[in-house]
Amino acid sequence: MKKNEKLNQWLWKWHFIAGLISLPFIIILSITGAVYLFKADYEKPKQLHIKEVTIQGKPIPLQKQWEIANTNAQKKPNSMVLSTYKNQATQFVSGRFGGKSSLYINPYSGEVTGAITAKKTDMYKIRKLHGELLMGSFGTKIIELIASWMIVLIITGIYVWWPARGWNLKGLFIPRIKAGKRTFFRDFHAISGFWISGLLLLILAGGLPWTDVFGSNFKQVQKMTNTGYPVTWEGRQLKSKPSGEPMTLDQMVNTATALKLPGIVTLHFPKHPKATFSVSNLNPSDLNSQKKIHFDQYSGKQILINDWQDVGILMRGRMWVMAFHQGEFGNWNWWLLFFIAITLAVMSISALASYLLRKRKGSFGTPKIHSRFKVGYGVIIAIVVLGILFPLFGISIIALLIFEYVRVKRNKSIAVQSA
């Protein structure tokens, strides 16, 4: 690829400026992301006394356990997770997402072994630091802006790094060690950045659906194009036919167990006398196996089944990249994400080291661009498209243009006064 040297200088300038501003946030994102990957390992020993029990004879009916949970939970449970081992405490769940809390019942004694509230865990704080800098909605928008600029950093970084005078195979893998510290750190940043760029874009795609502006717009597009979950997925329009007494929880759990669904299976309780029981399974390692099945709460008859093929293509793509972002496809996914997170942190620090070594005292060291350079239509169109796709990035570009315009006008005014 023949490079436009003037464009290369211009892209290098903005890669430099954007990178310098984003650097502390990128380091926070990479470190907290790496730490959050250890969520299961960290929480398991701390929660073991709540989730595991001693087997003591025959378990009491699940219907009775449900009554105990309704009495002891701060908020009435809306679902339960089917146990897969005899020494598991029965998990009754209230709320959803960040507001989720679980009450655990000893199935043999009926004793409440404890409760786990998502918001009160250490890893929830790490997640909030990772996703919103512990600053709520405002912090989420900062992270979204940084994520948008990271996409630009990746694109501009590849162009700037791309060799203009042919390929040197050694330069694709090994930093120059004997050319000085600054060159070594620069090479390490560029080479590692090139090799993880594709995966990093995939990871960013998995994080963006959680953001405020882009995430909300994405959901709107799903709704407009009917490419999200089908309207029957939650079963709100479905109705049971009241006839005699509702099924007991034990009967419904037997029905759900007979389905032999893989992953974590959840039984959702009816919200009113005409609502349905619903069974769903969470199995990120094989999204195609996920289902949502609705049952009449009186007869136990299956009313409707939705499988993964009923889910719209945008939602399926979104769930795939989000699962990849969290390392839920198995050990290979976990180790790959951990490697990317550590590499991103080290390459960011190496970029800072290279900058500090080249920076002259009293100067920011901003790369110079040719005075006659004019941005081409192709670049303008690309920026506009990115600005529309990522609105916060678009707003930041407008702010930068205003700042640059004011700066140039001010410099001209000073030059005239000096003359």
> Closest by alpha carbon to 145, among 394, 318, 401, 399?
394
Asked whether 285 and 331 are in contact (CB, 8 A), the reply is no
In terms of Cβ atoms closer than 10 Å to its own Cβ (0-12, 13-18, 19+), residue 241 is: exposed
Would you state the pLDDT for residue 132? 94
Q: Could you tell me what percentage of the chain is helix, strand and coil, using 3-state DSSP and rounding each to the nearest 5?
A: 60, 10, 30
Q: And the tokens for 101?
A: 């809390």
Tens-place pLDDT, residues 76-129: 999 999 999 999 999 999 988 778 999 999 999 999 999 999 999 999 999 999
Identify the DSSP state of 52: B
Nearest-angstrom CA–CA distance, 367 and 371? 12
Neighbours of 221 (CB within 10 A): 12
At 43, which amino acid appears? Answer: E
pLDDT along the chain (419 residues), means of 10: 77 88 95 96 96 94 96 94 96 89 96 94 95 94 96 91 70 78 88 93 94 94 94 91 92 96 96 95 92 96 95 95 94 96 95 84 74 84 94 93 84 74
Nearest-angstrom CA–CA distance, 155 and 169? 21
341 φ/ψ angles, rounded to the nearest 5 degrees = -60, -45
**In degrees, to the nearest 5, what angle opens at C-alpha 135 toward C-alphas 131 and 140?**
40
At 339, which amino acid appears? Answer: F
Asked whether 324 and 333 are in contact (CB, 8 A), the reply is yes
Q: Which domains does the chain have, with CATH numbers?
A: 229-311 (3.10.450), 376-419 (no CATH)
Identify the DSSP state of 82: P
> Closest by alpha carbon to 192, among 30, 325, 333, 324?
30
Asked whether 317 and 227 are in contact (CB, 8 A), the reply is no
Would you state the pLDDT for residue 166? 63
